[in-house]
Amino acid sequence: MQIKGKHGSAFIQIESLGAPNAKQTDSQPVWKEQPVTFEKTKEGWVMTRLQDVAYVKREVALQGLSKRLSELAQNTDPTAQQKAEQKEIIRLLNWLVNDDSRRAPAQNN
């Protein structure tokens, strides 16, 4: 992080679960560094809006991805692009469900 007068900049790391690049074949998260800038105003420090970044709760992501996968599965003659989208959604759902199960505390029966 750097601050000079009323302006500053920083690098943040963002975990991404989006489509992997050609070199990545497993379901590990991808970390991306994103530069941000900010400026001091009368109300306080204001950060510039990040491009192409969104946070979604795990439960919301599971519901949205499941709904989209259901819509795609109803198509009896999917295109290659739709098949690829189905595979990507399944990969993301597997990662979200498996990661969630690792976080759950062990329960005694």
pLDDT at 23 over 60: no
In sign, the C-alpha dihedral spanning 98, 100, 105, 109 is negative
pTM listed for this prediction? 0.49
The rounded radius of gyration (Å) of the Cα atoms in the chain is: 19
Indicate whether 2 and 50 sit together in one domain: yes
Domain that holds residue 35: 1-54
Q: Supply the pLDDT for residue 24.
A: 47
Helix (H) or strand (E) holding 94: helix 80-103
How many domains is the chain built from?
Answer: 2
Indicate whether 41 and 88 sit together in one domain: no
pLDDT at 109 over 70: no
109 within a domain of the structure (yes/no): no
75 within a domain of the structure (yes/no): yes
Q: Supply the pLDDT for residue 44.
A: 85
Indicate whether 28 and 60 sit together in one domain: no
Helix (H) or strand (E) holding 86: helix 80-103
Mean pLDDT on 54-77: 87
